[in-house]
Amino acid sequence: MPNGSSIEIQISIEAAGWPEPDVLEALCDRVIAAAASYLERYEKQPFPASGCELSLLFADDPAVRAINSRWRSQDKPTNVLSFPAAPVEPGQMPGRMLGDVLFAHETVAREAQAMDIPFDNHLIHLLVHGFLHLLGYDHIDDDDAEAMESLETRILAALDLSDPYENTSPA
């Protein structure tokens, strides 16, 4: 990150099918560092000089479904869930603890296959998506969705990935 701060990532793998731990850790480090760097440089997103902490949980559909049901009253698995440690608006200084992001393996794999893209490319997109939620970005209304998707697309382009929202309407 340009200002010398860092994001410490804690990874828990609680389901089969995910990349090997060292491969997954390297991927997450690269993606989160690139996203944070992009946000600092182009969106003027501040981060604590002492660094931040982020927790990533790589689970399966049943685990994510249970969490989604309990915390969001949606009894279904979803690709990614983000739980900010504290509310923050885009552009505001987050606290040292950013929060938790959870991924459901079967859903991520199914979506990647349906979109005919590599699993890792879809996971990279979801890492960026979940990270942005921790920083206050959302897609509840069309304007917010458009802004968040545009930002995701620009960060993914910096990672040499194509626009995942091409030919779609805002979520």
The one-character DSSP state at 104 is E
Beta strand 80-84 with 97-104 is antiparallel
Is 129 annotated in some ligand binding site? Answer: yes
Is 139 annotated in some ligand binding site? Answer: yes
Is 125 annotated in some ligand binding site? Answer: no
For residue 119, what is the enclosing H or E element?
A: helix 119-134
CA distance 159 to 56: 20
* Exposure of 88 in the CB half-sphere (CA atoms within 13 A): 23
Binding residues: 129, 133, 139
Binding residues for Zn(2+): 129, 133, 139
